[in-house]
Amino acid sequence: MQLPREVIVGDGTIENVAEISRRLGFTKSALIIAGSKATYEIAGKTVKELLEDRKMEVNTFLVETATVKDVGAVEEKIKALKPQVVFGVGGGTKIDVAKCSSARQETPFISIPTTASHDGISSPLSSIKGFDKPYSVMAQAPIAIIADTNIIMQSPWRLTVSGCGDVVAKFTAVRDWKLAHEEKNEYYGGYAASLAVMSAKLVMENAELISKKGEEGLRILIEALISCGVSMSIAGSSRPCSGSEHVFSHALEMIKPNHSLHGERCGVGTIMMAYLHRANWKYIRTTLEKLGAPTNAAALGVEKEDTVKALETAATMRPERYTILNELNLSHEDCEKVAKATGVIQP
């Protein structure tokens, strides 16, 4: 079980980066992976300056996407520079690339998210385009997470709402996991599952507070995202955090790439999967509405037919991951009925 050793959430926490680095024994060299000028200016530069103030040798490498090629390029950098630690500074993609390449080169990794858009900020998994799978693969858990709420508050609100969708998704992910345990005798970890469920519950209960866009609500979301990441570290897989709603999201993204954000698709998926699990799907929808998150196909920017097709093909996305979709084996007509009954497509 790999778990983060330092988790720091709050206003101005980025100022502690050098101290945390020292506490973990990294006093000589670091490589910062950041994104375009925007995220570099907002956080990467500060990290570099603070580490250099402590006489550390700091190199920076900017990436725009999270592809196999990006991971390869960063791996080459790590091989050449041999930094003691790799920092991933930015939104999802930068953290994914830093996490995956540092894991492959057996170098510790520190996560400094500038957005709260999904649980990859703290999980041991990376989502990289170009691998043979459309979903996340095991990499390594960050040794430290520094989430500065002042920085994250400057990111577009839509990203934060998407992060809420990714947490709400645990409502059905854990039900799928339990189902796989009962039907397929798959390993089920009660502790990891409880941690994921509790995160979803906290975000749902505080939807109104979060929607006020203040620091208090953001903190709840960030802590939930971090707990979700930790639950995956405990489980040793993404099981507690990724079920039928996630395979639906992957299927929809395959059918129509780049139309919406990961957490937005997962949120809409959770409404339908909760319906299939005979759970309180209306509560999921009301919560997402409160947060201002998409609750239907039109809001996601996809056609009716694409949504139905994604539902129909979702179970084949990840055959080894048994979910309610495998259990029910829905026909095209069934899928259409589900999408209509939950208001995801218009009747």
Q: Which residue, 17 or 311, is less far from Zn ion as judged by CB?
A: 311
Shortest Å distance, C-beta 228 to Zn ion: 8
Segment lying near Zn ion (by CB under 5 A), choices 10-18, 166-174, 205-213, 273-281: 166-174
Shortest Å distance, C-beta 326 to Zn ion: 19
Segment lying near Zn ion (by CB under 5 A), choices 89-97, 106-114, 160-168, 207-215: 160-168
Question: Which 45-74 positions form the footprint of Zn ion (CB under 5 A)?
Answer: none
What does 34-86 look like in DSSP terms, one character per residue?
A: E-SHHHIIIIIHHHHHHHHHTT-EEEEEE-SS-BHHHHHHHHHHHHHH--SEE
Q: Which residue, 148 or 166, is less far from Zn ion as judged by CB?
A: 166
Q: Which residue, 166 or 312, is less far from Zn ion as judged by CB?
A: 166
Task: Report the residue closest to Zn ion, judged by CB.
Answer: 166
Segment lying near Zn ion (by CB under 5 A), choices 11-19, 158-166, 197-205, 285-293: 158-166
Q: Which residue, 44 or 269, is less far from Zn ion as judged by CB?
A: 269
Q: Is the dihedral angle over the CA atoms 300, 305, 308, 309 positive or is it negative?
A: negative
Residues sharing a CB contact under 8 Å with residue 36, sequence separation 6 or more, in sequence order? 62, 64
Shortest Å distance, C-beta 49 to Zn ion: 33
Count of residues binding Zn ion (CB under 5 A)? Answer: 1
Shortest Å distance, C-beta 238 to Zn ion: 8
Shortest Å distance, C-beta 136 to Zn ion: 8
10 φ/ψ angles, rounded to the nearest 5 degrees: 155, 175
Is residue 166 a contact point for Zn ion (CB under 5 A)? Answer: yes
Shortest Å distance, C-beta 118 to Zn ion: 5
Q: Which residue, 105 or 140, is less far from Zn ion as judged by CB?
A: 140
Residues sharing a CB contact under 8 Å with residue 309, sequence separation 6 or more, in sequence order? 251, 255
Q: Which residue, 163 or 217, is less far from Zn ion as judged by CB?
A: 163
What long-range pairs does 75-83 form, CB within 8 A, spacing at least 24? 75/101, 75/104, 75/105, 77/31, 78/31, 78/102, 78/105, 78/107, 79/105, 81/29, 81/31, 82/29, 83/29, 83/30, 83/31, 83/59, 83/107
% helix / strand / coil in the chain, to the nearest 5?
Answer: 60, 10, 30
Which residues of the shown chain bind Zn ion in the complex (CB under 5 A)?
Answer: 166
